[in-house]
Amino acid sequence: MLNIISYNVNGIRSAISKGFWEWLGEEQPDIICIQETKALPTDVPVLELEALGYRHCWYSAEKKGYSGVATFSKIAPDAVITGCGIADYDREGRVLRTDFGDWTLLNCYFPSGTTGDIRQGFKMKFLDDFTAYVEDLKKERPQLIIVGDYNIAHREIDIHDPKGNKNSSGFLPDERAWLTRWFESGFKDAFRHCHPDTVEYSWWSFRAGSRGNNKGWRIDYQSVSDNLSDKIISAGQLMQVVHSDHCPVKMVIDL
């Protein structure tokens, strides 16, 4: 059994100041994929992480204090590959690949389009380019788990106010259609695979008491290739864990 967590920490140094190391020591996942690290490994007290038994690999953005992903694992990866080979995304530290035996884990931080049309266009191009990258990767590494902050709520059940957000980045028709195609292209949404009709969210705005009122969005996913989907044991959001505007997303899988 492997316990895999994905967590957008919205700045790992901020999360550490709110008890992230202590929580990690209690939770003890086999692998945790962090998004939006907003840091270099030299900015972080990694000795504390290593004391908990974790190996760690990082892929930080060129711009300081922005974006970035990191994967912490109790099992040694056979290979670590940074980036997806497209400079526009790689300079923002968005994709980190680790291979374990015959399966591959991608830790991803998809772009947000909330700042305007330019970044929304960047996001939509990323979705197309990422699809092509994964299709190529599948030929070499068909057993894939792709986790992270996708920055898209898929269906109306995945967002607290679907009508009010129908024109909001993260719930636009084109984004949702991409996610539908994604889950029809050989991947299972681990949470929906286990809980077809359950309402749980993974992100809440900092505004207007959204988290306390559970006015959230489910935008963090664990996509499991169909050839591994029968091995999913459980999946869900750890909504009680608060170091960020996101919560951790957890899956147990028998690999």
The rounded distance, in Å, linking the Cα atoms of 5 and 237 is 9
Spell 195-233 as b/e; 16+ CB within 10 A means b.
eeeeebbbbbeeeeebbeeebbbbbbbbbbbeebbeebe
Reference 110, options 95, 98, 99; nearest CA is 95
Of the residues 30, 128, 136, 149, only one is catalytic, namely: 149
Rg for the chain, CA atoms, rounded: 17
Handedness of CA 75, 101, 202, 60 (dihedral sign): positive
158 is catalytic: no
Reference 148, options 206, 185, 193, 189; nearest CA is 189
CB count in 10 Å sphere of residue 37? 28
Longest dimension (CA), the chain: 47
Residues involved in catalysis? 149
